[in-house]
């Protein structure tokens, strides 16, 4: 950019700053179909992943509890009276 063009742009820049700062917010107000579609896609991916993770964690926990219970029974067998 040549210096004369910079000189012409810089005096207008302070007047443009408030408009530039709010330009990105103008399109995000109200209902936005694109954001809704993005939300639906994200949920469609995350919900099955989270459910699978919860199920696997629960199965591992139950298996660990069963193993601990089996070990406890072997260490301290109950006597029949």
Q: Tokens 């406890």 identify what position?
A: 72
Tokens of 22: 């709010």
- Mean pLDDT calculated for residue range 48-69: 97
pLDDT at 80: 53
pLDDT at 13: 62
What is the pTM for the complete model shown? 0.50
Top-confidence range, 2-6, 8-12, 31-35:
31-35
pLDDT single digits (tens) 18-46:
666 565 555 556 789 999 999 999 999 99
User: What single string gives the DSSP state of each residue in 55-78?
Assistant: HHHHHHHHHHHHHHHHHHHHHSPP
């Amino acid at each position: 950019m040549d210096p004369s063009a910079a000189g012409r742009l810089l005096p207008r820049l302070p007047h443009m700053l408030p408009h530039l700062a709010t330009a990105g917010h103008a399109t995000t107000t109200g209902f936005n179909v694109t954001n809704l579609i993005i939300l639906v896609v994200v949920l469609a991916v995350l919900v099955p992943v989270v459910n699978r993770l919860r199920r696997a964690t629960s199965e591992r926990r139950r298996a660990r509890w069963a193993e601990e219970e089996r070990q406890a029974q072997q260490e301290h067998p109950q006597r029949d009276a």
